[in-house]
Amino acid sequence: MSNSNGAGEPVQDVAQEVSEELREIGRELRSRANDVRKEAVKQLNAAAETIRKEARERGADSSTLKGADDVAKGLEKAAQYLNSHSVEQFGSETARVVRRNPLRALVIAFGVGLLMGVLMGGGKKS
């Protein structure tokens, strides 16, 4: 598309600058998401360790110890999953799950949003 007034080149330059800025923002967001992922792995493992420690220190019976261990194992599995997948893999996997089960994904998203709203005080009446 040729422009006789010469406006085509500045528009292309601006478009290229915007494109480069968007790529940089994407890299920064992936880096931050990766940092959050790593911190979540640490926190999940620490929580698993704390659960086991607290159950032992409180002298829990064998069934309670088993329950605490099961919860701790679940947290460790989640940590292992987070540790072994990249942020990009989470995105593609999430998209695949939503395509397979859109209604389930919608219900889960609604539930998580509702829970977060309640936890953040959205349900408070002044």
pLDDT for 6-53, tens place per residue?
566 888 989 999 999 999 998 999 899 889 999 999 999 999 999 999
Q: Which candidate, 84, 75, 74, 72, places its Cα nearest to that of 37?
A: 84
Which residue has better confidence, 68 or 120?
68
Residue 64 has pLDDT above 60, yes or no: yes
Which residue has better confidence, 77 or 3?
77
- List C-alpha distances in Å: 119 to 36, 37, 44, 47, 109: 21, 22, 20, 20, 15
pTM of the complete model: 0.62
pLDDT at 51: 94
- List C-alpha distances in Å: 114 to 24, 94, 107, 111: 33, 20, 10, 5
pLDDT at 2: 47
C-alpha span between 47 and 73 (Å, rounded): 10
Domain locations in the chain?
Answer: 12-84
Burial 58-68 (b: 16+ CB within 10 A, else e): eeeeeeeeeeb
